[in-house]
Structure 1
């Protein structure tokens, strides 16, 4: 059986701080703060609900982050 890997700890960061930023600025800031994956989605996008440590999701409309959440 393969050994279990331990995911890297997530940054201590509040996703709400990205709301209102441009998508480019938010992604740049998130990567600087240590997020390994940053995903931008249009409003109402159909996505899977699995939680991935180290991922930050943005709902982007008109180039601006409207909502942000971990996983």
Structure 2
């Protein structure tokens, strides 16, 4: 029988820490903390909703992160 795959670990990081930061600074910080994919989106963007381990999403308005979430 094949072993059950173990998903990669996500950084232990609070998404709230990014809210209010300038978008470029937030992306740089997220990558330093181990996020493999950082997705920057405008408010109201239509996006896929599949969960991706290691992805951090930022909703950016006027150059600042207004919302951040995993996946």
Tell me the TM-score normalized by structure 1: 0.91
Gaps of 5+ in 1: none
- Write out per-residue CA displacement over residues 27-55 of structure 1, whole angstroms, 9 at most, x where no aligned residue: 00000000000000000000011000000
Query: What do you get for the CA RMSD once the two structures are aligned?
Result: 1.4
Residue pairs, 1:5-24, within 5 angstroms: 6-24=6-24
**Structure 2 segments unaligned to the other structure (5+ residues):** none
Tell me, what secondary structure is at the counterpart of 2:48?
A: coil
Shift of 1:7: 3.3
SS at match of 2:16: helix
Residue pairs, 1:6-45, within 5 angstroms: 6-45=6-45
Q: 1:53 to 1:61 in 2, by over 3 A?
A: same
Moved over 6 A (4+): none
Deviation at 1:8, TM superposition (A): 1.8
Residue-pair matches, total: 69
Q: TM-score, normalised by structure 2?
A: 0.91
